[in-house]
Amino acid sequence: MLQLNYSVDLQAIYLQQSMWVDNVVDKSDASYLYQKRGVYYFSKQVPCDVKQHYSRNRIVICLRTKSLSKAMRSCKSILQRLEDYWMSLRLSAMPLPGQHLIQDRPRDYYGSDTTLLSEALSKYLLLKGEGKDKTFVRGATRNIQYVTDQLGDRPIDAYTSADAAALRDKLIENGLSVSSVKRNFSTIRSIINLTITEQGLDCINAFARTYMPDDDRQRRLPIPIDCIKSIQAACHDADDDMRWLVALLSDTGMRLGEAVGLAVTDLNLSNNIPHINITPHPWRRLKTRGSERCIPLVGEALWAASKATEGASGSSFLFPRYNRGSTSNANSASAAINKWLKPRVPEGCVIHSFRHSMRDRLRAVECPSDIIDAIGGWTTNGVGHRYGNGYNLDLLAKWVKRIGC
What's the pLDDT at 398?
92
- Report the candidate in 284, 256, 261 with the shortest Cα–Cα distance to residue 135: 284
Write the CA distances from 232 to 16, 27, 275, integer angstroms.
86, 70, 19
- 192-220 mean pLDDT: 84
Q: Is the pTM of this model over 0.75?
A: no
Looking at domain 114-199, its CATH superfamily turns out to be Tyrosine recombinase, N-terminal domain (1.10.150.130)
Q: Indicate where the chain has its CATH 1.10.150.130 domain(s).
A: 114-199
Mean pLDDT of 108-119: 81
Q: Is the pLDDT of residue 18 over 70?
A: no
* Residue 261 pLDDT: 93
pLDDT at 2 over 90: no
CATH topology of domain 225-402: hpI Integrase; Chain A (1.10.443)
Q: Boundaries of CATH 1.10.443.10 in the chain? A: 225-402
Output the CA–CA distances (angstroms, integers) from residue 341 to 335, 358, 403, 404, in the order listed. Answer: 10, 17, 22, 22
Distance CA 338, CA 331 (A): 10
pLDDT digits (tens, 9 = 90+) for 286-332: 888 788 899 999 999 999 999 999 998 889 999 999 987 778 888 88
Question: Helix H segments across 66-160?
Answer: 68-93, 117-128, 134-151
pLDDT tens, 65-107?
Answer: 999 999 999 999 999 889 988 888 887 777 666 655 555 565 6
pLDDT band at 403 (very low <50, low <70, confident <90, very high): confident
Mean pLDDT throughout 48-53? 87
pLDDT over 50 (residue 352): yes
CB atoms near residue 341 (< 10 Å): 19
Name the phi and psi angles at 270, rounded to 5.
-90, -10
Q: Report which of 325, 375, 338 is spatially closest to residue 245, judged by C-alpha positions.
A: 338
Query: In whole angstroms, how far apart are CA 14 and each of 6, 30, 76?
Result: 12, 19, 22
